[in-house]
Amino acid sequence: MSAENRENGAPMSETARAESRDRARRLLATTPVLDGHNDLPWALREQVGYDLARRELTEDQSESLHTDLGRLESGGVGAQFWSVYVRTDLAGETAVTATLEQVDCVRALLQRYPERLAWAGSASEVERARELGRTASLMGAEGGHSIACSMGALRGLHELGVRYLTLTHNDNVPWADSATDEPVAGGLTRFGAEVVREMNRLGMLVDLSHTSADTMRDALRASRAPVIFSHSSARAVCDHPRNVPDDVLGALPDNGGVAMATFVPKFVLPEVAEWDARLDRYLAERGLHPLAEEDEAWRARREFEEAEPRPVARVSDVADHLDHMREVAGVDHIGLGGDFDGTVFTTSGLGDVSCYPELVAELLDRGWSEQDLAKLTWHNPIRALRAAEEVADRLRRTESPSIATVEQLDGGSASR
């Protein structure tokens, strides 16, 4: 129940909400947020070509970015999966190269801010960074196109520190269907299942955000380790294909996985999802891609929004997703993945990385215990990461690195 809709029908006073925010900040000082997905590296690539001096993160970058170091700290973010995402129109060796450049960007950030950020490639290293008072920095590759159907490339990314791979982005890969593309494989192909098994052997988390529901189900069957959804919410609350169906959420306890709710408005509020689909059509009619960053695309978005104001998703709407996800998956299998710097629009009250206390305050006002909130923000993703490491330690004693190819297992096609 939203804080604005208590039993007496009266809205919560600002004084009461301020008290909840103070309580939330105290909680996050002890058990901070381990956020599943932040696209700062891609934003730095697009905005300044990785010239980090032009986006000095020790300074307020709110005019350009959702993320800077001061706001990370004020938001109670103790660990961050930095997405080393590349667009799906970059394919093959080009995609691999661009992903390596993204990894290099994260490494450069760590070298530039060693007193504020700390490298972490394991659950223990995340906890150690927190003990040192630094934001633990992990990496996740967003989209199977980043490995160009190569097990060697997959192992190379793991060796460089990438600790999850999102199996698809917005488009299918030859071995897995995306949530937002026309299905071809019907889920995972044989090669796709082999990718999941090799990820288990490596200790790389299988990330099922962006995948089709059938890919989710196939991956859950194939995986010997916990899976994650790095930035996805509940389909029952907002019927968008990027969100997680209840049967998949209900399977997480047996798997040990974690679904990390996102704050992207079109995945949060149905009215925004419908508005966003109309915006995409408006852009397409003008020959513009929905994710285009050119000035012409921004002008078109502004024109559309002036003619048809965008519905507003609020903190309470995100909390509705978390209430539902908790009910279906259980409090041990949910987390947070804001997707900051990876979205044009943000949820009101959750406009940047400083805003996590606002969400925690809303959940406190709904009756969530501090113990359950600590699981949501920190303990659940740490547990999943550690469990994946333990599975990998066991599998590496009995399994050799996979040398399978998509041609061998799928005949060069995406059919089973």
Residue 291 reports pLDDT greater than 90 = no
Is 321 assigned a catalytic role? no
Domains of the chain, earliest start first: 27-266+313-407 (3.20.20.140), 270-311 (no CATH)
User: Residue 11: which pLDDT band, with cuts at 50, 70 and 90?
Assistant: low
List the single range of 74-83, 261-270, 272-281, 284-293 with lowest mean pLDDT.
284-293
**Sign of the torsion angle spanned by Cα atoms 75, 351, 315, 19:** positive
Strand partners, 136: 79, 118
Catalytic residue among 194, 320, 339, 358: 339
**CB–CB of 82/41 below 8 Å?**
yes
Strand partners, 79: 34, 136
- Span 99-117, pLDDT tens digits: 999 999 999 999 999 999 9
**Sign of the torsion angle spanned by Cα atoms 261, 238, 226, 369:** positive
User: Residue 213: which pLDDT band, with cuts at 50, 70 and 90?
Assistant: very high
Dig out the tokens for 308 from the structure: 């048809």
334-336 and 258-261 beta bridge pairing: parallel
Is 352 assigned a catalytic role? no
CA distance 179 to 266: 14
Q: What is the average pLDDT score of the chain? A: 95
Higher pLDDT, 15 or 251: 251
CA distance 393 to 209: 25
pLDDT for position 10: 54
Catalytic residue among 210, 240, 324, 379: 210
pLDDT for position 5: 43
List the single range of 53-62, 76-85, 297-306 with lowest mean pLDDT.
297-306
Is 142 assigned a catalytic role? yes
User: SS3 string of the chain?
Assistant: CCCCCCCCCCCCCHHHHHHHHHHHHHHHHHCCEEEEEECHHHHHHHHHCCCHHHHCCCCCCCCCCCCCHHHHHHCCEEEEEEECCCCCCCCHHHHHHHHHHHHHHHHHHHHHCCCCEEECCCHHHHHHHHHCCCEEEEEEEECHHHHCCCHHHHHHHHHCCEEEEECCCCCCECCECECCCCCCCCCECHHHHHHHHHHHHHCCEEECCCECHHHHHHHHHHCCCCEEECCCCECCCCCCCCCECHHHHHHHHHHCCEEEECCCHHHHCHHHHHHHHHHHHHHHHCCCCCCCCCHHHHHHHHHHHHHCCCCCCEHHHHHHHHHHHHHHHCHHHEEECCCECCCCCCEECECCCCCHHHHHHHHHHCCCCHHHHHHHHHHHHHHHHHHHHHHHHHHCCCCCCCCCCHHHHHCCCCCC
User: Residue 412: which pLDDT band, with cuts at 50, 70 and 90?
Assistant: low
CA distance 52 to 65: 13
Catalytic residue among 142, 352, 358, 362: 142
Is 158 assigned a catalytic role? no
Mean pLDDT confidence for 131-159: 98
Is 39 assigned a catalytic role? yes
pLDDT for position 3: 47
CA distance 213 to 329: 16
Contacts of 165 (CB under 8 A, 6+ apart): 140, 141, 144, 146, 147, 154, 157, 195, 199, 204, 205, 206, 207
Closest CA to 336 of 381, 370, 296: 381
Mean pLDDT confidence for 229-252: 98
Catalytic residue among 145, 158, 231, 321: 231
Dig out the tokens for 78 from the structure: 């103790």
Contacts of 41 (CB under 8 A, 6+ apart): 82, 83, 84, 85, 102, 105, 106, 109
**CB–CB of 175/215 below 8 Å?**
no
Mean pLDDT confidence for 320-325: 98
CA distance 252 to 379: 16
Mean pLDDT confidence for 248-260: 98
Catalytic residue among 35, 39, 320, 341: 39
Catalytic residue among 66, 145, 158, 169: 169
